[in-house]
Structure 1
Amino acid sequence: MHAHVYKSLRKDDTYVYLAARDDFTRLPETLRTQLGGLQFVLEVALTPGRKLAREDVDVVRGNLALRGFHLQFPPASTLDPMSEDWGTDA
């Protein structure tokens, strides 16, 4: 299975994987509006067991088979800014 990956020009670090290149009709209208323009980034073979940087390949493959697209959101920030040592005595 191949995926065609696009980045959102409106939402930082948000990517859309499509089963068919430029088949934006698979995306709900509200999602297309929120993402704004999409710029092609790469085509990738999604073989079982393949490692992706932020996504589980089996989840991506399942979403592409079921919906025709997969949405990758920015990574959640796990850092608590209040836990940083700011170098103060406060």
Structure 2
Amino acid sequence: MLCAIYKSKKKEGMYLYVAKRDYFDEVPETLKMAFGTPNFVMLFNLLGEKKLVRAENQEVLKHIQEQGFYLQMPPKQESLFEQFKAEQKAKQTKNKTALKVR
């Protein structure tokens, strides 16, 4: 089964999969508003050998068949502050280990 994949102009990393190109009748109005104007990316064969990067082909297919679309949300990003704290903690641990070895 071919599906059409669109990316959101409003939200980086958000993609919408629908059964047919330019067919959004099954997509709720609230989602259409939140998604913004869909930007066509490509047609994709969900039953082919290629795998989607951030979604399971069968899961996408099931959602399209049951509700008419599949929404792929952007991956969660760790806050920069949390990332910074984790890096600092790793450096401190490394420094403590280096001091014990000497």
| TM-score > 0.5 by shorter chain | yes
Alignment of 1:5-84 (within 5 A): 5-47=5-47, 50-77=50-77, 80-81=82-83, 82-84=85-87
Q: Secondary structure at the match of 1:63?
A: helix
Q: 1 or 2, which has the higher helix percentage?
A: 2
Find runs of 4+ consecutive structure 1 residues off by over 6 angstroms: none
Amino acid across the alignment from 1:43: L
In 2, the alpha carbon distance for the partners of 1:67 and 1:48 equals 21
Deviation at 1:48, TM superposition (A): 6.3
Deviation at 1:64, TM superposition (A): 0.7
Q: Is the 8 A contact 1:48 1:58 kept in 2?
A: no
Relative to the length of structure 2, the TM-score reads: 0.76
Amino acid across the alignment from 2:33: T
Q: 1 or 2, which has the higher strand percentage?
A: 1
**Runs of at least 5 residues in structure 1 that lack an aligned partner in the other structure:** none
Deviation at 1:49, TM superposition (A): 6.0
Q: Is the 8 A contact 1:4 1:21 kept in 2?
A: yes
Deviation at 1:77, TM superposition (A): 2.8
**CA RMSD, aligned part only?**
2.1
In 1, the alpha carbon distance for the partners of 2:76 and 2:52 equals 17
The sequence identity of aligned pairs, in percent, is 34
* Structure of higher CA gyration radius: 2
In 2, the alpha carbon distance for the partners of 1:18 and 1:33 equals 16
Deviation at 1:78, TM superposition (A): 5.4
Deviation at 1:76, TM superposition (A): 1.9
Q: How many residues align?
A: 88
In 1, the alpha carbon distance for the partners of 2:66 and 2:50 equals 19
In 2, the alpha carbon distance for the partners of 1:38 and 1:48 equals 24
Deviation at 1:69, TM superposition (A): 0.5
Q: Is the 8 A contact 1:46 1:61 kept in 2?
A: yes
